Structure 1
Amino acid sequence: MSSAVQGAPSQWEAQRSFDELGRPLRETTFCVVDLETTGGSAQAGSMITEIGAVKVRGGEVLGEFQTLVNPHTEIPAFIAVLTGISNTMVADAPSIETALPALLEFAAGCVLVAHNAPFDVGFLKHFAEQQGRPWPRFEVLDTARLARRVITRDDAPNCKLSSLARVFNASTTPNHRALSDARATVDVLHGLMERLGALGVHTLEELQTFSSRVTTAQRRKRHLAEGLPHAPGVYLFRDDRSRVLYVGTSRDLRTRVRSYFTASETRSRMGEMVGLASAVDGLECATALEAEVRELRLIAEHKPKYNRRSRYPEKVHFLKLTREPWPRLSLVRRVLDDQADYLGPFSSKKSAEKCLAALHDTFPVRQCSERLSREPSRSPCVLAEMGRCLSPCDGSVDETTYAAVVRQLRDSLLRRPDEVVTAINARMATLAADERFEEAGAHRDRLAAFVRAAARTQRLSALTRCPEVVAARREDDGRWSVHVVRHGRLAAAGTIPPGADAHQYVAELRASAETVRAAPGPVPAASAEETEKILRWLESPGIRLVEVDGEWTCPVAGATRHLAIHDAVNQSRLSLVPFEDRRGLTPVHRPAR
């Protein structure tokens, strides 16, 4: 046991009250592994020549593992000089097919530790896959990565194992032999633990996520996570006046909230928020979906300063196809119970205007805002003179012809977007042929806005029309989660207890569910974001529909089938590096001629 670890237990004992916030380091078994190889890449054909491992817990060595490995290939001379392992030494050694299973058995149930873990673990995973052997779900800790967060330039010039061994006065000097290097890594691990213990890091979770960017003031507030359950739910950070600062959700409330005070949360805004926090409330939820929905509702209710998204679900826009003698498209902020047809909601006015432009490009309905009588007698507008409007205002079109165009427009909104897609694609092709790429791009963006809006409206409307949908899914823990959805709103959620009568449980859940009234038009009886989360759950694998009141259907020829190409184009655009921003590009050096 190194001197660095001998003083650590007393520090851990002083912090016993925080043990329940995670798995205490003193109770965690680590298996420190080191490999010697013939090269740097298993994928390129490099082989393992030696494996060394040390199993430790609470500073005590529980066992050691060491074996040479026959690589069945020549060891390069410079590797032999570096490691001292020669071809003769490995001639009678076991092959990796024998050595790997023995190592995995030795390390079973441990947290795997290595210095520059991606290298060692990468080799082991490669040969496990090559042998058709399932890789155990090891948690992995990289002492090199951890050291880079703890060690300063004043401590050591770099974070190589040899440098760190000197810093922590390791009892074994690394010498490029697997067991010696593993022993040295054990001392480095204990030395890092001792330093981090003084900073309030006492659990495996805190160790895995430690960052020096988290301030001491943040760590001092980690007691605010006490009492929260290891369960899905919503958490609310509050200031000293009980005002909600931030709302979040997690499948494990205690683990997630703890991370704000330990290491994994390093966003400056969140650091500022934690500095103001005086309390954290946790609302346990029956299912992860219920937690996500509650989060949205609480953000909309409290509008916390440190939540950037979902604070204003009421700030949306819709496109409305009016019901009047000469219908038109209008941009509105809310849906009325007026039998009109609506498209949306749009989260931004800009995207709504793009969609409106796409429809006006395809259908020459009037764009004026006045209400026209059945027999208007006015002068035509500029759009009529340009041939972009049927011009009912001056009698240029009869009511029957205009109504036929409106029917096509309504069909594109609600069922088949093909006419809009075909018309704008043809226009883009013409513009591109004339090398008017900027104009073609504008039409592309308009079409994408329309397709996304139509697909969204059709999907939301399909669920909104159903007075009730009850669905269940078997979760990873083997239990069944059940959700009752009414007019697109989550009305009840629960998990069937083991041994309970499933039919009776569902019946009681439905009876206790929230009463939900239908909203006008295509709008769900909730925010669009909530209904979309519900839809994603309903469309996930393993869902079983228990009850459907109404018809939950989307048009076969609807807008969703056009989404893939527009999403792919958008993703491609996002991945491009602008010419003026070359910071992410690697320079290419060419020899002078």
Structure 2
Amino acid sequence: MSVPTSSVVDVSSAVQGAPSRWEAQRSFDELGRPLRDITFCVVDLETTGGSAEGGSMITEIGAVKVRGGEVLGEFQTLVNPHAEIPAFIAVLTGITNTMVADAPSIDSALPAFLEFAQGCVLVAHNAPFDVGFLQHFAAKQGRPWPAFEVVDTAKLARRVVTRDDAPNCKLSSLARLFNSGTTPNHRALSDARATVDVLHGLMERLGGLGVQTLEELGTFSARVSSAQRRKRHLAERLPHAPGVYLFRDDRSRVLYVGTSRDLRTRVRSYFTASETRSRMGEMVRLAESVLGIECATPLEAQVRELRLIAEHKPKYNRRSRFPERVHFIKLTREPWPRLSLVRRVLDDDADYLGPFSSKKSAERCLHALHDTFPVRQCSDRLAREPSRSPCVLAEMGRCLSPCDGSADPTTYAAVVRQLRDAILRNPDEVVDTINRRMGGLAGDERFEEAGVHRDRLSAFIRAAARTQRLTALTRCPEVVAARREDDGRWAVHVVRFGRLAAAGVIPAGTNAHTYVETLRASAESVVPSPGPVPAATAEETEKVLRWLESEGVRLVDIEGEWTCPVGGASRHLALHDAVNQSRLSLVPFDDRRSLAPVHQPAR
């Protein structure tokens, strides 16, 4: 059966009032519903993964019912998922298979929660995750989904909390900011209690800005300065077409580069209520002109955006400004090969893993490989028959010790072959080794140490999957593919060594084969690059890959062999992505944020 979508109260959409016996009263519509009179049900879930559709199950539900700052009740239950809880998840949540063995199933836990939450406005931090799981299992049980309104504290915080207040909008950071009496710890009731304190802290700030009703909460972010509105004319000359736009200041310096399927509509949004980010407001105040570059297809626009950001490095673009700042792990070619952290790929017949956007991620991956394969970690060049005292790692049994001549060259070469295979084809040996180690540490309740190994494994899986997917495409001299777009026309792209070389849309009435051949003839000439590095940035090639793998794409022609290993690292990504998404809401910032708070300039 179909499940109605909850209305989300955030800074980009107005609240749709739930049906009530007061709807017909004009005065009520004008005044709205005071926040102090709203009963909120703050909910948090723990799960076995990130996708209910993909088979992940709920392992715990926690909720707190509040009104007017007063706690009215709490709800908590473990849930038996009737499936093994992955060691990865057990390390994260502390919920083990033993703990849920006698817990109720979701078939009885969900109705109990819905009864508890009846008549409330649901609140969650990153609400699409929690509400999505609840809706999924309600549909699976054939249970009608109540017409809940939903407040997402993460989205709300992004419009209220500044960078000076907190480094990010994760629940742990916000809990510290608002002096929550509960520390989030990936247990459902504790996280729900912390979210209550965050909700009250956000409402206190909004109250000082005149937000008193649920309706005002939904439209708060629609405030745009008159100075922004007066610049709407800058978008008038832009076409309703896909492309790239560049905001420039009075000295023609590029302030910001963006992309859209509809240039005029998107640029106009910066001067209207739909563009409310304070950082973008600051940029708009400085902007004196907008340049639009029309592109044949949305993919071409995305690629041009990346290239222009890398070229101009605009102040107001947070991402993609420095594609050259990457790291690689290199498996050297020498008598006694080793792993090395390097900044660029050479044409030296070595094997490379990466690129990594941060040195920290590269080092985590390097540790994962060293934890699994006892190759030497010294940086010296060793002769085929070295002779010197062994290092500390050799004495600890973590290195085969070629330095003192005790290592058998055949045995060492076999380990190197296994290492190369893990990087290029099958990561299972690394995955199994670190999972066993994590399981042992979790069993001893040494969760912090287990978490270190979890992060190392995650870094390796992502890097290996990225390397294998990039290498598969970048070794192809040419791939030509097409897809029928929404308007019925065919979009065609020519990709050479992983770089977008040409893009076009076949005009109506034109011979398709002739058009494609003309497009190929006029495409950019591309020289291949060594290793996994494409003849473009990794980010560009990944965008091209996502398009090639999207539904409806047809391969017109291919030169070379485009294949990925069947047992490659990509098959392990789903679980690691789910855990990482869950951690994003709680773990203090140590990598690039996906929920960046707005920056408010000094006045």
Question: TM-score if structure 2 supplies the norm length?
Answer: 0.62
Counterpart of 1:341 (choices 351, 360, 368) is: 351
Q: Structure 1 residues 35 and 313, CA, compared in 2 at 3 Å: closer, same or farther?
A: closer
Q: Determine the C-alpha separation between the residues in 2 that align with 1:298 and 1:235.
A: 10
DSSP 3-state at the match of 1:548: strand
Distance 2:490 2:222 in 1: 41
Deviations 1:1-43 (A, max 9, x none): xxxxxxxxxxxxxxxxxxxxxxxxxxxxxxxxx99978699xx
Q: What is the alpha-carbon distance in structure 1 between the residues aligned to residue 223 and residue 353 of structure 2?
A: 46
Find the counterpart in structure 2 of residue 374 from structure 1: 384
Partner amino acid, structure 2, of 1:524: P
Change in Cα spacing, 1:157 to 1:356, as seen in structure 2 (3 Å) is closer
User: What is residue 172 of structure 1 aligned with on the other side?
Assistant: none
Determine the structure 2 residue equivalent to 1:556.
566
For the structure 1 residues 159 and 342, does the alpha-carbon distance in structure 2 shift closer, same or farther, using more than 3 Å as the test? Answer: closer
Q: Which residue pairs with 2:302 in the alignment? A: 292
Which structure 2 residues correspond to residues 253-268 of structure 1 after superposition, within 5 A? 253-268=263-278
The superposition leaves residues 47-93 of structure 1 with CA deviations (integer Å, 9 ceiling, x where unpaired) of x9xxxxxxxxxxxxxxxxxxxxxxxxxxxxxxxxxxxxxxxxxxxxx
Aligned residue for 2:533, secondary structure, equals coil
**1:401 positional shift:** 1.2
Are the aligned partners of 1:210 and 1:264 in contact in 2 as well (CA < 8 Å)?
no
Letter in 1 for 2:254: V
Identity of aligned residues (%): 80
Counterpart residue identity of residue 294, structure 2 = E
Is contact 1:331–1:352 with CA below 8 Å preserved after alignment? Answer: yes
Q: Does residue 474 of the first structure (1) align with residue 478 of the second (2)?
A: no
Letter in 2 for 1:280: V
Aligned residue number for residue 35 of structure 2: none
The offset of 1:576, in angstroms, is 5.1
User: C-alpha displacement at 1:300, in angstroms?
Assistant: 0.1
2:222–2:274 Cα contact (<8 Å) kept? no
Any unmatched runs of 5+ in structure 2? 1-15, 25-205, 589-603
Once the two structures are superposed, residues 215-247 of structure 1 have per-residue CA deviations (whole angstroms, 9 ceiling, x without a partner) of 111111111112100000000011111110100
Q: Distance in 2 between matches of 1:324 and 1:379?
A: 20
1-structure distance, mates of 2:18, 2:559: 65
Structure 1 residues 546 and 344, CA gap change in structure 2 (3 angstroms): same
> Closer, same or farther in 2 for the Cα pair 1:363/1:504, shift >3 Å?
same
Return the match for 1:273 from 267, 273, 283.
Answer: 283
> Are the structure 2 counterparts of residues 493 and 394 from structure 1 closer, same or farther at C-alpha, using a change threshold of 3 Å?
same
Task: Specify whether residues 408 and 158 from structure 1 end up closer, same or farther in structure 2 by C-alpha distance, changes over 3 A only.
Answer: closer
Where structure 1 has 5 or more consecutive residues not aligned to the other structure, the ranges are 1-33, 42-47, 49-151, 165-207, 579-593
Q: Among 490, 493, 503, which residue is 1:493 paired with?
A: 503
Residue 481 of structure 1 aligns to a residue whose secondary structure is strand
Deviations 1:444-497 (A, max 9, x none): 111111011000000000000100000000011111100000000000000011
Distance 1:422-1:275 versus aligned 2 partners, 3 A rule? same
Aligned length: 389
CA 1:157 to 1:233, structure 2 compared with 1: closer, same or farther past 3 Å?
closer
- How far 1:350 moved relative to its partner? 0.5
Per-residue deviation, residues 364-399 of structure 1 (Å, max 9, x unmatched): 000001111111111111111111011100011021
User: After TM superposition, what 4+ stretches of structure 1 lie above 4 angstroms from structure 2?
Assistant: 34-41, 156-161, 208-212, 575-578
What pairs with 1:114-193 in structure 2 (closer than 5 Å)?
A: none
Instruction: Establish whether residue 235 from structure 1 lines up as the match of residue 250 from structure 2.
Output: no
Amino acid at match of 1:321: L
Task: Give matches, 1:19-98, under 5 Å.
Answer: none
- Aligned equivalent of 2:225: 215
Deviations 1:386-435 (A, max 9, x none): 11011100011021111111000000000010111111111111111222
- The separation in 1 between residues aligned to 2:220 and 2:444, in whole angstroms, is 57
Q: Which residue of 2 aligns with 1:145?
A: none
Q: Give me the CA root mean square deviation.
A: 2.7
Q: 1:224 to 1:374 in 2, by over 3 A?
A: same
Please tell me the residue identity of whatever aligns with 1:333: R
Report the equivalent of 1:449: 459
Task: Tell me, yes or no, if the aligned pair for 1:463 and 1:487 is still in contact at 8 Å.
Answer: yes
Tell me how far apart the structure 2 counterparts of residues 548 and 285 of structure 1 sit (CA, whole Å).
Answer: 24
Q: Secondary structure at the match of 2:230?
A: helix
Q: Distance in 1 between matches of 2:232 and 2:221?
A: 15
In structure 2, relative to structure 1, the CA distance for the partners of 1:223 and 1:37 (3 Å cut) is: closer
State the distance in 1 between where 2:315 and 2:521 align: 37
- Structure 1 equivalent of residue 36 of structure 2: none
Asked if structure 2 preserves the Cα contact closer than 8 Å seen for 1:237 and 1:280, the reply is yes
- Structure showing greater radius of gyration is 1
Any idea what SS the aligned residue of 2:355 has? strand
Counterpart among 357, 364, 369 of residue 374 in structure 2: 364
Determine the structure 1 residue equivalent to 2:397. Answer: 387
Corresponding position of 1:332: 342
- Distance (Å, rounded) in 2 between the aligned partners of 1:437 and 1:36: 44
Q: 1:247 is matched with which residue?
A: 257
| SS of residue paired to 1:261 | coil
The alignment's TM-score, normalised by the length of structure 1, stands at: 0.63
Partners of 1:323 and 1:390 in 2: CA distance: 17
Rounded Cα–Cα distance in structure 2 between residues aligned with 1:458 and 1:40: 60
Offset at residue 564 of structure 1 (A): 1.2
Which residue does the alignment assign to 1:29? none
> 1:212, CA displacement in angstroms?
5.2
Q: CA separation in 1, counterparts of 2:527 and 2:22?
A: 64
Distance in 2 separating the partners of 1:257 and 1:537: 24
1:572 shift after superposition = 2.7
Matched, 1:510 2:520: yes
Q: Taking structure 1 as reference, are residues 209 and 529 closer, same or farther at Cα in structure 2, changes over 3 Å only?
A: farther
Could you say which residue in structure 2 is the equivalent of 1:536? 546
- 1:303 equivalent among 309, 313, 317: 313
The answer to whether 1:438 aligns with 2:441 is no
For residue 408 of structure 1, the aligned residue among 418, 430, 439 is 418
